Structure 1
Amino acid sequence: MTPGDDTNRLAAEARARVLIDRQLAEASWSVQDKTAMNLFAAQGVAVREVTLKPGHGRADYLLYVDQKVVGVIEAKPEGTPLSGVEWQSSKYADGLPADVKLAALTKDGRLPFVFEASGTETHFTNGYDPNPRARRIFNVPKPSTLAGILKHVDEEHPTWRGKVRAFPPLDTRPLRPSQIEAINGVETSLREQRYDRSLVQMATGAGKTYTAVTLSYRLLKHGGFQRILFLVDRNNLARQTMAEFENYQTPDDGRKFTELYNVNRLKRGPMPDATSVAISTIQRVFTALRNEEVGDTDDPDLDGWVPETPVTVAYNPDIPPEAFDLIVVDEAHRSIYGQWRGVLEYFDAHVVGLTATPGKQTFGFFKQNLVSEYTYPQSVADNVNVDFDIYRIRTQISEQGSTIEAGTIVPKVDRRTRAQRYEALDEDLEYRRTQLDRAVTATDQIRTVLETFRHKLFTEIFPGRSVVPKSLIFAKDDAHAEEIVTQVREVFGKGNDFAAKITYNARNADQQLAAFRTSAALRIAVTVDMIATGTDVKPLECVFFMRDVRSPQYFEQMKGRGARTIPDADFQAVTPDAKEKTRFVLVDAVGVTEHDFVEPPLNREKSISLQKLLEKAANLTITEDETATLASRLAALEAQITDDERTELDAVAGGSLRQVVRELVDAVDPDVQAKALEGAADQDQALQQLIIAAVKPIASNPDLRARILELRRAHDRIIDEVSTDVLLDAYGVIDTSKAKSVVESWRAYLDEHRSEITAIQLLAEARERRISFGDIKELADRISRPPYNWTPDIIWNAYVALDPEYGKASTTHRTLTDLVSLIRFTLGEDDRLAPYADKVNQKYAAWLAQQEQAGVAFTPAERWWLDRMVQVIASSAGISPADLDQPPFTEKGGTDGAVRDLGERAGSLIDELNQELTA
């Protein structure tokens, strides 16, 4: 090296030290020369150029915290690659002079905190981390930050990077499988520490925020994390997120999250020390870092602001880089990993991204570390979301624009004041479709679209309905939204409470949003961006695009507003003519669904029937689109059926029907298909085999297909509004031919299903064992479905029509247990058709007579219990000890009362009555 090079190097190092001195001072370090050292000047003291033991050179900076040596900084000229000089810093940490070493805190004989810095770049190695590794940081931490770490040096794991290696198991009870996978994926990523970022792909509506709150609780309670920054996409979503934290019930002792940890909105620093979770938008974090005031009110100019170029940030001691251990980015992905990236990288924190639709830039920022994936079709299969249909409305002006001739007097509206004036055009005005509702508003285009929507709503979009479904219309800007609201009210002939504008500029927007969720009156809302992402409106059934969207991520967010499932009772409370929400509709008036990035719905073949789809599955001729459609139809059915029907259907399927649907969805997933087709000589054949494997549980199970169709017919109700009925006759004559048909069909049904239905099997074999009420109910459920639609009353009355003698019973209303009598009589086990209760009461009278002959006398108190036990047996075909804690027994003390009045015989009497009265 020439003298000139050496001089340049020294000058560069000197410039670097000037920058490092300034950074240390900004972070509250007292920077001192060795000759003027005063370790009591501040909590943190950085002493320049300390000579070490022979052979170890000289430390550029020795760091003291609370008068103890804890770290070292190796200074290098600006531009020096710091990843190659850690060995030098480590050597300095080893080479402390004996007098300095007496006042040193060491880890395995070395100083725990080692830094390399050039003034523009800083690397940090924390010796208390497992497998200590240098990482780039924005600035040297404050002395108080290092002191906080040193408080835990006696623990097995002083830092969160160690604590996350010993997490307790996740309590999965309140979580969906996709949420469990996401939390476990992030925690695995934290334990492995291969990356400082983790990406979770989770479909809109799958519970991303609840997942993040659960993760935050675990990291704060068990993981050694001190503070978490939760970033949202819009300020109004911060309130929704705050509510999630406030309502979250912790799995340990049931207390609310906010009873244990402080959750605050981020404002201008410094933050209160007690803050555990701070909620903000990325724009407000940037504003706070610049020491500008951050308010609570919505500010679309701030929260929607995307700078033209990537932002740069400066060190802020009130919100230092180590202020947060974790940053959760919840659906704030449209620009956050581009122009706003500098804000995220300011903080020395692990970043977790939650998004439904990650783009290339998102994957790049997260270093391809996708820890869990849950797609929209998978969420439909799991009944987390509902599927959608697309309804396209095209008009000439929407497609081609128009021309206004010169001389035409037109209204012109001032964009700022909205004042209107009239002027004649000097020349022809020709406008394109892209200028529509920005430079030009064509009122008839808006009216034509809305009139078409109204005209087709109850015939094609939601046939058979009469109440306008909850609909959200996306407008281009606030002025466009204003025009749409006005015309919606006119087209539908309704008042102000029927349609409302919900934008940042609208008055009472939050109250209107709350009404849109819960009011039966407010049917249509028009918005621009305010309800575009993250905001839940679960009863929503129409997502109406009157603006184009070219971002696939933003489109998915907007589409997802209609995806939410909702309990039937809540849905019917706001949309009284609907039974349940099984789908929503994308109404497209601008061609947004024709972009290449728009994935089709699962329900792709709307004209094909479920029966035909099942037939094609059975003969293995089903196509990819038909497989997707079958998945959509089965997911909708699975959401409609009762819990008992679902349990029975799963039993017929030999497993979970929901899992069958999930496999159908996976078979049409492009990522799954890509893996299956890798290396395949015949790709068409390989794809068909993937589909065949998915439909096999249905193709190989005729009973499942039959049961699916039975349930579909049972839950479908056709409304005939066109046929006119004519009264032919009305009379009280019994139709014996129909009764004979019912009896013959009933007898044939028992023969056909003798081997598969437990109740029939037991009674046909005339075993001396009791048939359970569950077996009877199973049979009753089966015969109540199409094509039979039988009840015990219908079958019994058919017998009475053939022989009035059968009608001479103590009661005229039949119960489910009368099926036992019907089966035994039909199969020839009994020679007389008598109600089950009559038989039980006759056997009870005979049993009492036997007891009396044997010298057993029952007191009135004992008879009270026995008589009511017999009532239960008559209506339920048996009794169990657990029934004693139900009415009518509870009025006399339940099980304790039975033991009190019947003594030790209580159990044996139950067994004896079951045996004697039900045989």
Structure 2
Amino acid sequence: MSAKEAQARIRINRLLEDAGWRFFDDEIGSANIALEPHVKITRTELDEFGDNFERSSGGYVDFLLLDERGFPLIVLEAKAEDKHPLVGKEQAREYAESQNCQFIILSNGNMHYFWDLNSGNPYVITHFPSPDSIDGYRSNSTDTSALINEPVDDDYIALTQLPDYASQAGWVNESERSAFIEKNRLRFLRAYQKQALQSIQSAVAEGKTRFLFEMATGTGKTLTSAAVIKLFLRTGNARRVLFLVDRLELEDQANKAFNFLLKNDFTSLIYKEQRGDWRKAEIVVTTVQSLMVNNKFERLFNPNDFDLVISDESHRSIGGNARAVFEYFTGFKLGLTATPKDYLKKFDAGKSDDPREFERRMLMDTYRTFGCESGEPTFRYSLLDGVKDGFLINPIVVDARTDITTQLLSDEGYSVTLPISEDEEESKETFYQRDFEKKFFSEPTNRVFCETFLANAMRDPVSGDIGKGLVFAVSQHHAARLTQMLNEIADQMFPGRYKSDFAVQVTSQIKGAQQYTINFANNNLLGSANFIDSYKTSKARICVTVGMMTTGYDCPDILNLALMRPVFSPQDFVQIKGRGTRKHNFLEQLFDDQLKDAVVEPQKLHFKLFDFFANCEYFEEKFDYDEILELPKPRSGGGGGEPPPPPELYDSLDPDAIQEVRETQIGVEGMRIDRMFFKRFEDQVQADSELRQHVDDENWEQAAAELVRKYFHKPKEFFDEEKLSKAAGVDRRVSLREILEKVFGLIDEFKSKDELLEEEFHKFMLDLQPEDAQHISAIKYFFKAYATDGELREIIKEGRFAELHVHPGFTVTDYRAVPEQWRNRVPQYVRDYLPLDRFM
């Protein structure tokens, strides 16, 4: 038996026992794990092999898990850890059918799939189901035909809100219908929202249990989600739904929406507010972060407590270890994301065996999670679709770069010429993103930003005030200074009107900032209707933020967005731009009919995007869409302890001025970033015959040097290992050799950080052979944490073990679980053999 087979067997045995399955009779109950028919194994044999058994005289040992009556319930097909679990799929199906089993688990010890033969395809699970949970899941298996055949019309939600609306006089009389809808706040599905639901019905008819919606900001993901929830609950395909979000304000926002839309049929609640009564609700809303703390989700819920799990902003809320929460639950899964398809689409399919290669590199984890391995979501509705159909709007871009911000743009990146000291001549320093945030620009530059913004901002069509807006700053310190400047300038423009209430800093350091975002959306930040009694609009006109109000923030009456910082990520740029794309009728906030007649343009048809750093030009003309701008790794800390105080911004009294204010209305064709995500880096490199020859000759050192010399850090591309790693969707920095191997087809995919760690851990265990196999999980967890966490390495090195009590990733309990002899072996091996830069 190979070591890989042994390691897989150890983990599978442990996972079964942890889930409550028993190899032998004990005080809890009878054994409910049977090995392959006619193969028996005794406790003595199990101890003798140390759980490392794999073969018997009858062949490979399979697991047959039994129900409480001793009947076959689940077939567990085990493979060695170097084999993909799905290779045993058909073998397991044949065996399950012969045993009359509905359920199958496919596992190699590291990756596990659960398969209900009656309802779809295998899907990833992170824990083995317990005997109780799987039996409960079996008893609640449903007939999907009701869901597939459920009629879904545009009044699908309205029928829940007001079941007899169509027979009421206000609806029957067409002249009164608009007022009737507004009075009863009825919500009707748009054509594309119905198509989204119909796409799920079609997917379920094909046996799928996972779905992904890619819908642009402002296209009604919450309303669509409510309709999906009703579809599953009403047809009996779900008893209870879990709605996962990744921020507190989205938790409250979603719960209020579901109660408003579905309260006549179903109950929605926020888990943390009603922990004792959550089972009484059909819809439970919570943040994924709250469930991740100490794996709380495993203690609070059974895997089959929710039959439908919806992940909002799924590109983030299932990222990293948060995915464990999502995968823990059985049943149907739906992901929602605002990332349009067009960000990912740009390459010559005719020159590649894989015409969706780069798209999958960036987002394949999301697609795979939701059963969309082809890279096509279950349903897509992009910003361009929304603009074309008249539901969304594009911005008026206000290009207002200054002398200094223009100077910051160079062939090398963002740079600025500054005197190093009074005695030296000027010397040019180059700042990349994180550096740039520390050494920002001068007070005069900040002031000219604020003055230009307020002088050219769109005005509220009712009150004539500066239209509501968001300003995006570099850091919390920068946000504080911009807020002060905006209030000072507003006092000059509108003497005595605002009294420092014009602009508000909304960042994580500000107490109550979360409520500020809600109040701003509800037009009650620092007061409302202050200047026109019958008009409800926030007294505070501008929120200055860094990142709190970028994703999922719904405030449709925003008229002005200002980028007072460079933006390096296309995703961030699109999310920020999306805050303004919703349409709005300002008369909805005005309660004086005479004043309504005087409003010339009550509809929001445009919004302004102020760009002080040529971000739009960069993403339109210069960004290569294989990458994001260069982001050097932060300098390693000096051994834990308190983080350093926030750096002071670079200060100068040198004057600065706007070079030109140029406004450009974006048409229905959208911005380039709305049409594509990145072009193909491979196209350029694959055409280089000299590089190809070096690779063919396996002259890797010279090939790497040529790659850097010819293609890296050029004015148009700015390629490097880190940015190409991000473009490929890899969670680590890939090496130059790996890049060359991928470009020239020598490898199919880049390995993830965890895959590399698994390989290194196997080498480590083969080299040192653990005596105590039962602690292998604890040793592996320590190995991975130590290899990837610089702060943890410093804590261990300096013996500051008390700090593990507050360490977020590796606790004192984790450390104590590691046998004493391994606490030194792991660090020594990592120091001697692991190239840690591969895991950055």
Task: Name the TM-score, length of structure 1 as normaliser.
Answer: 0.50
Matched residue SS, 1:593 = helix
- CA shift at 1:483, angstroms? 0.4
CA displacement 1:713-767 (0-9 Å, x = unmatched):
xxxxxxxxxxxxxxxxxxxxxxxxxxxxxxxxxxxxxxxxxxxxxxxxxxxxxxx
Look up the match of 1:550: 568
* Residues 1:327 and 2:329 aligned together: no
- CA shift at 1:226, angstroms? 3.8
Letter in 2 for 1:177: A
- CA shift at 1:244, angstroms? 1.2
Change (3 A) 1:598 1:26: farther
Q: In 1, Cα distance between the equivalents of 2:238 and 2:94?
A: 31
Q: In 2, Cα distance between the equivalents of 1:225 and 1:384?
A: 32
Q: Contact (CA 8 Å) 2:241, 2:307: kept in 1 or not?
A: yes
Q: Contact (CA 8 Å) 1:403, 1:428: kept in 2 or not?
A: yes
- CA shift at 1:79, angstroms? 3.4
* Residues 1:245 and 2:258 aligned together: yes
Look up the match of 2:802: none
- CA shift at 1:479, angstroms? 0.7
- CA shift at 1:141, angstroms? 1.3
Q: Which residue of 608, 611, 618 maps to 1:585?
A: 608
The correspondence of residues 373-384 of structure 1 with structure 2, limited to 5 A, is 373-384=380-391
Q: Which residue of 556, 560, 565 maps to 2:583?
A: 565
CA displacement 1:498-548 (0-9 Å, x = unmatched):
111122222232443344331342111111111111111222100111122
Look up the match of 1:468: 466
- CA shift at 1:236, angstroms? 1.9
Matched residue SS, 1:201 = strand
Letter in 1 for 2:68: D
* Residues 1:51 and 2:64 aligned together: no
Q: Contact (CA 8 Å) 1:26, 1:317: kept in 2 or not?
A: no
Q: In 1, Cα distance between the equivalents of 2:470 and 2:463?
A: 18
Matched residue SS, 1:522 = coil
* Residues 1:526 and 2:519 aligned together: no
Letter in 2 for 1:484: L
CA displacement 1:206-227 (0-9 Å, x = unmatched):
1111111221222123152244
Moved more, 494-503 or 348-357: 348-357
Change (3 A) 1:284 1:463: closer
Q: Which residue of 45, 62, 66 maps to 2:68?
A: 66
* Residues 1:222 and 2:235 aligned together: yes
Q: Contact (CA 8 Å) 2:244, 2:317: kept in 1 or not?
A: no
Matched residue SS, 2:479 = helix
Change (3 A) 1:267 1:492: closer
Look up the match of 2:479: 481
Q: In 1, Cα distance between the equivalents of 2:144 and 2:429?
A: 60
Q: In 2, Cα distance between the equivalents of 1:183 and 1:266?
A: 30
Change (3 A) 1:118 1:629: closer
Q: Contact (CA 8 Å) 2:62, 2:77: kept in 1 or not?
A: yes
Change (3 A) 1:120 1:362: closer
CA displacement 1:297-340 (0-9 Å, x = unmatched):
xxxxxxxxxxxxxxxxxxx4655655544332323425855675
Q: In 2, Cα distance between the equivalents of 1:573 and 1:479?
A: 40
Look up the match of 2:394: 387
* Same amino acid, percent of matched pairs: 27
Q: Contact (CA 8 Å) 2:137, 2:304: kept in 1 or not?
A: no
Look up the match of 2:444: 444
Look up the match of 2:110: 120
* Residues 1:178 and 2:161 aligned together: no
Q: Contact (CA 8 Å) 1:447, 1:487: kept in 2 or not?
A: yes
Moved more, 461-470 or 351-360: 461-470
Q: In 2, Cα distance between the equivalents of 1:162 and 1:224?
A: 10
Q: Which has the higher contact order (CA 8 A, sep 6+)?
A: 2
Q: Contact (CA 8 Å) 2:211, 2:378: kept in 1 or not?
A: yes
The correspondence of residues 214-613 of structure 1 with structure 2, limited to 5 A, is 214-249=227-262, 255-256=263-264, 260-265=266-271, 273-274=279-280, 276-289=282-295, 291=296, 316=298, 318-319=300-301, 324-333=306-315, 336-337=318-319, 344-345=326-327, 347-358=329-340, 359=344, 360=359, 361-362=362-363, 365-366=366-367, 367=373, 368-400=375-407, 438-457=438-457, 466-493=464-491, 494-517=498-521, 518=523, 519=528, 520=537, 521-572=539-590, 579-596=602-619
Letter in 2 for 1:388: P
CA displacement 1:121-146 (0-9 Å, x = unmatched):
4444424x14x654443333111222
Q: Contact (CA 8 Å) 2:460, 2:466: kept in 1 or not?
A: no
Look up the match of 1:190: 204
- CA shift at 1:248, angstroms? 1.4
Letter in 1 for 2:242: L
Change (3 A) 1:390 1:134: closer
Give 1 or 2 for the bigger CA radius of gyration: 1
Change (3 A) 1:270 1:120: farther
Moved more, 531-540 or 215-224: 215-224
- CA shift at 1:346, angstroms? 5.2
Moved more, 110-119 or 523-532: 110-119
- CA shift at 1:549, angstroms? 1.9
The correspondence of residues 695-710 of structure 1 with structure 2, limited to 5 A, is none
Q: Which residue of 167, 180, 184 maps to 2:150?
A: 167
**Structure 2 gap segments, 5+ residues each:** 41-56, 157-187, 345-358, 368-372, 409-415, 492-497, 529-536, 624-663, 677-840
RMSD of aligned alpha carbons: 4.4
CA displacement 1:21-59 (0-9 Å, x = unmatched):
321221122332xxx488x717x8324455289x99897
Change (3 A) 1:527 1:31: same
Paired positions, count: 528
Look up the match of 1:744: none
Q: In 2, Cα distance between the equivalents of 1:245 and 1:531?
A: 22
Q: In 1, Cα distance between the equivalents of 2:300 and 2:461?
A: 60
The correspondence of residues 678-693 of structure 1 with structure 2, limited to 5 A, is none
* Residues 1:79 and 2:82 aligned together: yes
Q: In 1, Cα distance between the equivalents of 2:80 and 2:437?
A: 57
Q: In 2, Cα distance between the equivalents of 1:280 and 1:272?
A: 11
- CA shift at 1:163, angstroms? 5.7
* Residues 1:137 and 2:125 aligned together: yes
Q: In 1, Cα distance between the equivalents of 2:153 and 2:571?
A: 31
Change (3 A) 1:183 1:271: same
Change (3 A) 1:593 1:93: closer
Look up the match of 2:16: 24
- CA shift at 1:443, angstroms? 1.0
Change (3 A) 1:335 1:238: closer
Letter in 2 for 1:29: W
Change (3 A) 1:269 1:90: farther
Look up the match of 1:147: 135
Change (3 A) 1:630 1:407: closer
Task: Name the TM-score, length of structure 2 as normaliser.
Answer: 0.55
- CA shift at 1:465, angstroms? 8.7
Q: Contact (CA 8 Å) 1:123, 1:135: kept in 2 or not?
A: yes
Letter in 2 for 1:445: T
Q: In 2, Cα distance between the equivalents of 1:133 and 1:187?
A: 16
Q: In 2, Cα distance between the equivalents of 1:180 and 1:503?
A: 37
Q: In 2, Cα distance between the equivalents of 1:630 and 1:497?
A: 32
Change (3 A) 1:134 1:474: closer
Q: In 2, Cα distance between the equivalents of 1:326 and 1:113?
A: 19
Q: In 1, Cα distance between the equivalents of 2:386 and 2:136?
A: 43
Look up the match of 1:787: none
Letter in 1 for 2:569: S
Q: Contact (CA 8 Å) 1:378, 1:665: kept in 2 or not?
A: no
